[in-house]
Amino acid sequence: MTDRIYNFSAGPAVLPLPVLEEVQRDLIALPGVGMSVMEISHRSAPFEAIINAAEANIRTLAGVPDNYKVLFLQGGATTQFSMVPMNLLTEGRTADYIMTGSWATKALKEAKRVGATRETGSTADTGYNRIPTDAELSFTEDAAYVHMTSNNTIEGTEWHQLPQVPDGVPLVSDASSDIFSGPIDVAKHGLIYAGAQKNLGPSGVTLVIIREDLLARSSKSLHTMLNYSVHAENGSLYNTPPAFGVYVLGLVIKWALAQGGLDGIAALNERKGGKLYAELDRTGYWRPTAQKDSRSLMNVTFRLATEDLEKKFIKEATAAGFDGLKGHRDVGGMRASIYNAFPEAGIDALVAFMQEFERVNG
Amino acid sequence: MTDRIYNFSAGPAVLPLPVLEEVQRDLIALPGVGMSVMEISHRSAPFEAIINAAEANIRTLAGVPDNYKVLFLQGGATTQFSMVPMNLLTEGRTADYIMTGSWATKALKEAKRVGATRETGSTADTGYNRIPTDAELSFTEDAAYVHMTSNNTIEGTEWHQLPQVPDGVPLVSDASSDIFSGPIDVAKHGLIYAGAQKNLGPSGVTLVIIREDLLARSSKSLHTMLNYSVHAENGSLYNTPPAFGVYVLGLVIKWALAQGGLDGIAALNERKGGKLYAELDRTGYWRPTAQKDSRSLMNVTFRLATEDLEKKFIKEATAAGFDGLKGHRDVGGMRASIYNAFPEAGIDALVAFMQEFERVNG
């Protein structure tokens, strides 16, 4: 009946089927509540239970220390590009941005509206096909914060260890596209933010994890909805939250816990990514774009010898039920986004399809 | 099986059952798409069709003139409290705010962060239990805009005709809690905004209808996500929109069209509100709080002789399956929110329950 296809979309992206099934089952009336989750007051006991469970499960899943707040906001990572400097880039200080691709560039653009910034460790010279080494990073002394993009959705690169930032300088990470794809050392961060629509749930909810002492930087002159401190004081309920999104996100986190937590998920992602990269490396027919040591396990980017061949591959793959393989319009080529919820069977099917494509068109 | 109750919540609020049924049916895979609406790229053809249809149906439903843009944003009306002055309150001008209750007060608070403001026509002296008359309104010459709150959710009052603003001064209306509850003359407004979670759909999407010439006021120095002009140029797709919310909102608008459009909906709301106010006026036992000429058809606020009696009523009503009748914590008493999707049968049932309560406790 439902006839689902293999969804390689970069985001919004595939969700776990058991989560969708639960959402569907309870869509019209939550058990014991008699209303849809979309219809209940955000100040009601049933919704309080939903948002509190989502937060508690995130804390369990990622081992979030007690001195961090977990916030559910709106506006996507793009709004965080502004809120981070508005709240954390205080007068007279400089924010350091590690330049690893399109999203880091967009983040920096908004920070420049707020105050002094500095680029460090840019890999623009090689088309952002790699993550900079620690030797390439030089930080501003007493920087307001260092901003990184943990996974670069468009360029297909990912940090495999955190940069060594100076003691006392908060590391801020845009983890939108690889959050909870494996263990994360929250305590090494000052702030982590992520749009939900890759590994967490539907678009329209943004997760922010912030170390409590940083809330003191939020000026009272900030607009209310742009002030982390207000959201933290009000448990993300200063105004009506994106309630349905928080509900689905909560179910996704529960699903992640049931996969063996972040260790279990990491093992699955390594197996999935390993199979696909092995195929890309097998004969030289396929041309993976990211440097080997910087490869993303979430967004696997690759090319073929000619754009015509790429078009043919994408067209035939789409027809065969592999959707969303076209690369981002800024870079072209192909991209297989294989987030946590992407099924391993889809990787096996794609690899078989690629082998056949190579046999016919090689 | 689903066992739904009567939901008088002020928001998030009751949705049309046929909409919930369609969402449930297609939750796991949209027909012909093979993915959930939560899983598809916002740049895909199926989502483009969804967002374009939502906009087109809003234009049809409300008769939106061609020189207005229809935007789907995030952050709720509270974010609009900031975006309106950030974009429209240009240097050297003053914004006039008509003070009709708690939400107008919150809107003004954010505007003060941006520039010069003036209060006009406040009904604070009578506890905001009425809408000011035209005679009470005095506007700033050449004001940047005049801000009004078309329906006051907490105080139970509603504008039944628009204020007479000076020629050339844009009227900005927070229509969150009565949008599309009846005909609306969009051309008399410069900007209309509304959080979705009362008459439009689930929380997490905010509708903005803005006259195109006003977009020229948006400074390039504004943060990207706070700039109306950027959202308008990108058809609400500058970044990932709250896709599921836009989808459900689109279904609610289609449902509204099927109710005979805004005329049909107005007739239904007048009948529903008429029945409830008639009961409130019948014997003097109940004490409606808003002045008769200012009564809201969306949020019907009333009291009883004592707080103890109010508590008893709310407790017994809740037990009988009438949920959400407790008044806002700032004002106390009772509030029956009866938005477009609230069924007339629920009004009849509540009236019968109230009559029995009066008989026993009168």
Report residue B336's pLDDT band, with 50, 70 and 90 as the boundaries.
very high
Confidence of residue A153 (pLDDT cuts 50, 70, 90): very high
Q: Which of residues 31-90 of B touch A (CB under 8 A)?
A: 34-36, 38-42, 44, 74-79, 81-82, 86
In the residue annotation, A174 being an active-site residue is answered as yes
Q: Is A159 a catalytic residue?
A: no
Q: Is residue B1 over pLDDT 80? A: no
Instruction: Report which of A97, A103, A70, A101 is spatially closest to residue A85, judged by C-alpha positions.
Output: A97
Using alpha carbons, select from A213, B242, A64, B36 the residue that is nearest to residue A54.
Answer: A64
Say whether residue A14 is in contact with chain B using an 8 A CB cutoff.
yes
A3 closest CB neighbour out of B5, B34, B225: B34
State the nearest Cα–Cα gap between B202 and chain A, in angstroms: 5
Comparing A341-345, B1-5, B173-177, the range with the smallest average pLDDT is: B1-5
Q: Is A63 left (phi over 0), alpha (psi -120 to 50) or beta?
A: left
Tens digit of each residue's pLDDT (9 = 90 or more) over A88-111: 999 999 999 999 999 999 999 999
Residues near A142 by beta carbon (within 8 Å), at least 6 away in sequence: A93, A168, A169
Test B224 with A81 for CB contact under 8 angstroms: yes
Helix B243-258 vs helix B261-282: crossing angle, to nearest 10:
80
Contact A323 B225 (CB under 8 A): no
Collect all residues with Cβ–Cβ distance below 8 Å to A53 and sequence separation of at least 6: A250
CA distance B173 to B150: 6
- Provide the pLDDT for residue B125: 96
Q: Is beta strand A68-73 parallel, antiparallel or unpaired with respect to A206-211? A: antiparallel
- The predicted model gives B288-299 an average pLDDT of 98
Position A4 scores a pLDDT of 83
Amino acid symbol at B217: R
Contact: B21, A28; criterion CB under 8 Å: yes
| Band of residue B201 on the pLDDT scale cut at 50, 70, 90 | very high
Instruction: Report d(CA B11, CA B195) in Å as an integer.
Output: 10
pLDDT surpassing 70 at residue B339: yes
Chain A, 307-346: which have a CB under 8 Å from a chain B CB?
A: 321, 323-324
Q: What is the mean pLDDT of residues A218-234?
A: 98
First to last CA, chain B: 37
Q: Which parts of B202-308 are beta strand (E)?
A: 206-211, 287-288, 299-303
What pairs with residue B76 in β-bridges? none
Length of chain A: 362
How far is the alpha carbon of A160 from chain B, nearest alpha carbon, in Å?
Answer: 26
- Model confidence at A263: pLDDT above 70: yes
Arithmetic mean of pLDDT over chain A: 97
This complex has an ipTM of: 0.97
Q: Catalytic pick from B69, B103, B178, B326?
A: B103
CA pair distance B185, B146, nearest whole angstrom: 16
List A192's β-bridge partners, or say none: A173, A209
Token pair, residue B192, equals 């209309």
Question: Is domain B261-361 in CATH 3.40.190.10, yes or no?
Answer: no
Among B14, B202, B321, the residue with its CB nearest the CB of A243 is B202
Average pLDDT over residues A171-198: 98
Question: Under a CB-based contact definition with an 8 Å cutoff, are residues A238 and A32 in contact?
Answer: no
Phi, psi of A66 (to 5 degrees): -65, -25
A298-324 residue pLDDT tens: 999 999 999 999 999 999 999 999 999
Whether B20 sits inside 8 A of A34 (CB atoms) is: no
Distance, in Å, from the CA atom of A164 to the CA atom of A143, rounded to the nearest integer, reads: 14
DSSP 3-state of B65: coil
Q: Among partner residues B75, B203, B243, which is closest to A203 by beta-carbon distance?
A: B243
State which CATH number among 3.40.640.10, 2.60.40.10, 1.10.1200.10, 3.90.550.10 fits the domain covering A17-258.
3.40.640.10
Q: What is the pLDDT of residue B74?
A: 98
Q: Is residue A1 over pLDDT 70?
A: no
Distance from CA of B29 to the nearest CA of A (A): 6
Q: Please name every residue paired with B169 in a beta bridge, in sequence order, or none if there are none.
A: none
Distance separating alpha carbons of residues B358 and B33, to the nearest angstrom: 55
The closest CB to that of A2, out of B12, B21, B29, belongs to B29
Asked if residue A211 lies in contact with residue A189, where contact means CB atoms within 8 angstroms, the answer is: yes
Residue A22: which of A204, A257, A249 has the closest Cα? A249
Percentage of chain A surpassing pLDDT 90? 98
B230-242 per-position pLDDT tens digit: 999 999 999 999 9
Main-chain phi, psi angles of B307, to 5 degrees: -65, -30
A4, A39, A110 ranked by CB distance to B224: nearest: A110
* Consecutive H or E run containing A244: helix A243-258
- Number of Cα atoms under 13 Å in the Cβ half of residue A155: 26
Residues of A in contact with B208 (CB under 8 A): none
pLDDT of residue A3: 72
Residue B103 a catalytic site member: yes
Is the confidence at residue A228, as pLDDT, over 50? yes
Q: What is the pTM of this model?
A: 0.98
* Mean pLDDT (chain B, rounded): 97
Asked if B164 is an interface residue toward chain A (Cβ–Cβ < 8 A), one would say no
Q: Which residues of A touch B3 (CB under 8 A)?
A: 29, 34
Query: Is A344 within 8 Å of A268 (Cβ atoms)?
Result: yes
Q: Which residues in chain B are closer than 8 Å to A245, comparing Cβ atoms?
A: 204, 242, 244
Please identify which of the residues B69, B96, B159, B174 carries the catalytic annotation. Answer: B174
B4: confidence class by pLDDT, cuts 50, 70, 90: confident
| Domain ranges for chain B | 17-258, 261-361
For residue A2, pLDDT over 80 is answered with no
- CB contact set of B258 (below 8 Å; sequence gap of 6+): none
Examine residue A132 and say whether the peptide bond preceding it is cis (omega within 30 degrees of 0): no
Query: Does A167 score more than 50 pLDDT?
Result: yes
User: What is residue B3's predicted lDDT score, i.e. its pLDDT?
Assistant: 72
**Separation between Cα atoms, residue B10 and residue B338, nearest integer Å:** 8
